[in-house]
Structure formats: structure tokens, C-alpha cells
Amino acid sequence: MPGNSAVPGNSLVARSRLLLHVRMLTHVAPGLSAIAGTLAILRSAAVIVAMISSGRLVGALSVTRVEPARAWQWLAVCSISFVLGAVFSAISRGVEELISARYLSGYQDLLLDTAVTPNTVERLQSDAGATALDQAAGALQHWLFLRGVGGVWGMIAHRVAGFGALIIVAGWRWWIGLPLLAGWLVMSRASARWRSIVFDDTEQKAVPLRHRADYLSRLLAGRSAAKEIRLFGLADWLLGSYRELWRTAMRMVAGRRGDGARRMALPMLVLLLLNAIAFAVLITDAAHDRVSVASLTILVQAVLGMSALGRQDDDETSTGRTATELSRLVAFRSTLGLPFPVCAAERPIPVRASGAARIEIRGLRFGYPGGAPVLDGVDLVVEPGECLAVVGVNGAGKSTLLSLICGLWRPDAGTITIDGRDPITDPAVRQRIAPIFQSFLRLPLSAADNITAGNAWRSGTSWQQAAAISGADQVIAELPAGAATPLSGQFTGGTELSGGQWQRVALARAIAAIDAGAGILALDEPSAALDVRAEVALFDSVLRHRDRTTTLLITHRLSSVRYADRIVVLGSPDEDGGARVIEHGRHDELIGLNGRYAEMFRLQASRFGQVTR
């Protein structure tokens, strides 16, 4: 793919990036792109006609006996060409704005499709994946990227005008025109190399520093850390860290830019010499009457106009930036096996309500990239309608197991099926799962939208009923605008919820999914932000759905798991190996076993004076 090469200044890479950019333009706006290309050529033609007609006008006025009719004729041609050039430019700007709007929409579609289409999250959560998506999203805010969307048409206009000037100069002295052409092409390549150093190489190397600096900036200006910054006196330290990171990044950029600029010195000197020779020959020809005044005027403009062949102005710079960002995103998509442009993918067919689901796990082994196995040899069957609690020490792999059941990560070995179907190869199965993760989704939308998110297409979904079961109805009743209140203080009329209130809203969302047909309710530390009474109410709500759903409960509060039909304990037989199921049974059975579960339960019970059976 075009973006796979990391060689700065490679002309083939730059050309392939530009072609990819043009392909995107013609994909999102084929008709408008054709109009913009035609207008670019017409603008160039107007420049050449103005160049020739202005020379002819000067020639007509410089003769001993002025011919008014001829002078007026060339003046009219010159004026019309200038006016048409201005008209074509104005129309081009309007067309380019329309193209830019479609391009940005298409680019955002490409970005969002990249983020949500992969079945699993391992590539997206890797350092490379996170950086690629962050850069792609950040590009939409960069003025160079925004300007570069339509800059390609300016590039075409410049190049066509430059070649028109070349034809005029070569018609006068080919041995002047061809060296100038070579000089400007070398200059263009040197400029492109310098631009590549600035944007492709330097910015990539400075990305980690700039990301850290941007994070500190958001931390200082945001609400989330405002209390701690003031109470712990972190403001000066954070400000100092931000400034040092930013200065280090900018020193890196400035140093590399200086290196690139020095490499352009020789091509610039050679080009200066070639232009000096061209003007010297032109003056000599004029002095010996080998060229007329009209031709002299035209040739001076043509020699100067050849600079369009190597000019690297804002159009070239911004277009290069846009093409580079697009190629990076497309290259990342290729690693995910995603096509370019975006194809209309077949979405999973909605899975209609079919009651509680069966989960079967055989020989499961999994470890995060570059790490030791987290799970190794997990065998587990959860029958439809069963309430299963999964417990274990921190780091035992409980949350990882839930992510694997949801099909978010691909196991290293073994199988996971839900009603006999693989959640990775059959993404529609995921619609049978209603999860609440530890870091669950908190949308800055209305309370009603937070509950119905993802369930709107499903018939029979009632967020009011789900809110009542979860206790979120009490939270909503206290909001300024009820269910229409935005759950974010960043919006007018919005409000912030406490951790416990958010947990009830998240539970309501999961219950709404069950009402709409989900067959598995998966809860990861659902009562972490709740008090004891709220915890009891929560599990009462969960137990009401035992006839309609299979329940997975991951928690550290062992007092909560007594009500489960079965409890499994994840642990490692040895310190270096991955976790597996080392104990399973009902609460009383595991206490009687006097193993790992009994030890953990007694430890927690002793803190609260609970009975240990």
C-alpha cells in the first residue's frame, strides 16, 4: 500500500500517495472532480494567453508607428484572459469547497469504519493501532490537511501553466528551456524531500512527545483532575513538564528542518545560475535584435513562469500533508484486511429474542501481545439460565475471560461458543450479550439515550421498565429535565452523575438489551460503586432475569456471590502459568472444600464480622 514505505523523500512513495489522494477525490466526488480538473486547465490556459497577449500588446505599442486597432485587439485579449482567469479561479474555489466537504465526510467515514469494523480489538488497542487512529482523527483538525483537500487542483493549474511556459522558452532556445526544466524538477524533488522530512519523518518522531504534551495540556485545562491539581499543588509541576516536552519536540522539529533546508542550498544555487544564463542570453538577443520587444516581454514572463514546475507553495505543502495522512490510514486499514475505498459491508442480521444462551469454553489459552499467558487451559460450560459467579485474585484473568467470551480478543488456543456459534467469526452472536464492563460506556447524551443505545432497532424495548428494574428511575427522577437531561456538565442543562448513579444507568442499558433479546447478562464488578443496600437491590434485579438470561457475574465482593447457582474460582496452579478453573461449586460446597475460595471468603468476612458459612 502507498503508506507502507517509511522512506522520507522517496519520489515514488510521494507519487503513489498523491495518486491515492486523487483516487479518494474521484471516489467521493467524481463529477465535481472532473469539473475542478477542467477549471484548473482553463486557469492555466488563461495564464498562458495573458502572458502572450500582454507581450503582443507591449510590442504593438512599441513600434514606431502604432496601430491602434492592433493594440486594442491585444488589450482586449489580455483583459479577457485576466478576467476569465479570475472567474475560473472563483468558480474553482466554490467547487473545491463542495469537494472538500465530501472528502472530509468520506475521510471521516473511512476513519470510523476503521475503528468499528474489525471484529476484535487487539489491533486497535495496540500502540500502533492507537497511534494510527489518533493521528487520523487529529488530521481533521489540522489546517494543512483541511487546505490540502482541494490543493491538488492548484497543483495541476501550476504544473500546466509551467509546461506552457516551457514550450514558449523551448521554442526560443531549446538548450535554455531543457536545462531550466531539469533544474526546476530537481528543485521540486529537493523541496518535496524537505517537506517529507518536516511532515513524514520529524513529526512522526516527535509524536510521542507531542502526545504527552497534549495530554498534560488537556489535564490542566479539564475538569477531571481540577481538585487534585489544586490540593496536591500539581499546577507548577504539570506546567513545567508540559513546557519541557513541547520545547523538546520543537527542538527536534527545528533541527531536522534546518538539515532539510541546507540540502536545498545546492539546487537553489544551480537554478539561480541557470536563470541568470537564460536572462543573459535573452538580453543579448534583444540587444542584437534577434527577438522583438513583444517576444522579449513574453519570454521574460515564460522564464519566470517555469518556476511553477518546481514551486512548493501552500497548495503543494498542504496536498502532500493530506495525501500522507490518507496513505497512513489506508496502510493501517490494510493491516486489518479492510478495503479502500470503504465498501458497503454486510452487517450482522439482528438476532431475535431466543431466551437464555449456552456458553461452552474448551481448552482456552490466551495472553496479551508480548506478555505471559493470562489464561491457560480453561474449560467451562454455562448452561442456559444459569447464574455463574467468577472470582479470583487481582490479575487472575476474570475480566479477560469476559472479553474473550464477548469475542473482543482472539484466543491463542481453544474455542468459545455461544449456542454453538463463534462470537468472533459470527459477530451477530454478540448481540446476544449484554455486558457491563468495569469501564463501561458513559455517553454525553440524554439519560434515555444512554439506556436505549444499541437497542433502538430492537422491537419491544422499554427503557422505562429497564430503568425501574435497575433503580435508574430514581436517578432520572432527580435530573433537571428528567430522561432528556444530558449526562455531561459540558452541555447546557447537563449534569454529572456519581459512580453509583452511572452504574445504575449502565445496568438499565443491559436490562434493556435483555428485554430486546440478549441471552447473556455479563457483569464485571457491577457493585463497585454501590453501597451495601444498593448492592442487595442490584442482585435482586439480576436474579429476576434468571429465567430469561444466562448471567455471568465477576466480582471481588464474595458476599454477593452466595446467590449464584455456581461459583468458579480462577487461579494458577503455579506462579508462572496462566489461570484456569481451580475450584467450582455452590457457596456452601466451596466453603466446605476449605480451598482458595474459602480462604478469600473468610478474609473478607473477618473485616465485616460476617459469618463464614
pLDDT in tens, 496-527: 888 888 888 888 888 888 877 788 989 887 76
What is the DSSP track for 343-381? --PPPPPPPPP--S--EEEEEEEE--TTS--SEEEEEEE
User: pTM of this prediction?
Assistant: 0.72
Q: What is the pLDDT of residue 144?
A: 62
Q: What is the pLDDT of residues 203-232, one digit of tens each?
A: 666 667 777 888 888 888 877 788 888 888
Determine the average pLDDT of the residues in 96-123. 84
User: With 80 as the cut, is the pLDDT of residue 305 above it?
Assistant: yes
User: With 60 as the cut, is the pLDDT of residue 388 above it?
Assistant: yes
Reported for 60-66, long-range contacts at CB under 8 A and 24+ positions apart, including other chains, are: 60/294, 62/293, 62/294
Q: What is the pLDDT of residue 300?
A: 92
d(CA 314, CA 320): 10
Q: What is the pLDDT of residues 44-73, one digit of tens each?
A: 999 999 999 998 888 888 766 667 888 889
User: With 90 as the cut, is the pLDDT of residue 567 above it?
Assistant: yes
User: With 60 as the cut, is the pLDDT of residue 603 above it?
Assistant: yes
Any idea where the domains of the chain sit in the sequence? 12-335, 359-608
In terms of average pLDDT, the best of 186-190, 326-330, 347-351, 530-534 is 326-330
Q: What is the pLDDT of residue 7?
A: 34
d(CA 70, CA 83): 20
| CATH T-level fold of 12-335 | ABC transporter transmembrane region fold (1.20.1560)
Q: Rounded to a whole number, what is the distance in angstroms from the first to the last CA of the chain?
A: 63
Nearest-5° angle of CA 438, CA 508, CA 513? Answer: 95
| Residue 17 pLDDT class (50, 70, 90 cuts) | confident
Determine the average pLDDT of the residues in 124-140. 75
User: With 60 as the cut, is the pLDDT of residue 541 above it?
Assistant: yes
Nearest-5° angle of CA 376, CA 379, CA 382? Answer: 135
Question: Which residue is listed with cell 538548450?
Answer: 175
Q: What is the pLDDT of residues 395-440, one digit of tens each?
A: 888 999 999 999 889 999 999 999 989 988 887 788 888 888 888 8
Determine the average pLDDT of the residues in 586-601. 91
Q: What is the pLDDT of residue 492?
A: 83
| CATH T-level fold of 359-608 | Rossmann fold (3.40.50)
Helix or strand or coil: residue 492? coil
